Amino acid sequence: MSTRRRATLRIRGKVQGVSFRESARAEAQRLGLTGWVRNLSDGSVEAVAEGEPAALDLFIQWSHRGPRSAHVTEVVRTDGEATGEYSLFSVERTS
């Protein structure tokens, strides 16, 4: 039985144009998480991460700060069951 969990995050503030997605990918990979991160049209960033609860908590803590040039004002977190559908953590490009 796996203890892996899923967290979906909506991150608001100055989070686009500051390498937030690439930094999130690097942090998630460092923590052994899988999932994705993408920009949304309203200026926020959305991320779905799956992994061990302790690693998820560290990623969420990082999300409240982001990279040096970001200014995060809000992180909305939704927890769920891990699906195991991701093999790595990627940056999704919006079309």
Instruction: Give residue-wise pLDDT tens across range 43-92.
Output: 999 999 999 999 999 999 999 999 999 999 999 999 999 999 999 999 99
At residue 33, the pLDDT reads: 98
Strand order in the sheet with 45-51: 71-81, 5-14, 45-51, 34-39, 89-92
**pLDDT > 90? residue 2:** no
At residue 93, the pLDDT reads: 85
The reply to whether 39 belongs to the active site is yes
The reply to whether 21 belongs to the active site is yes
Q: Distance between CA atoms of 5 and 15, rounded to whole angstroms? A: 25
- Which residue in 39, 65, 68, 93 is the catalytic one? 39
pTM of the model as a whole: 0.94
At residue 25, the pLDDT reads: 98
Domain locations in the chain? 5-81
Q: Which CATH number is associated with domain 5-81?
A: 3.30.70.100
Secondary structure element (H or E) that encloses residue 61, with its range: helix 53-63
At residue 47, the pLDDT reads: 98
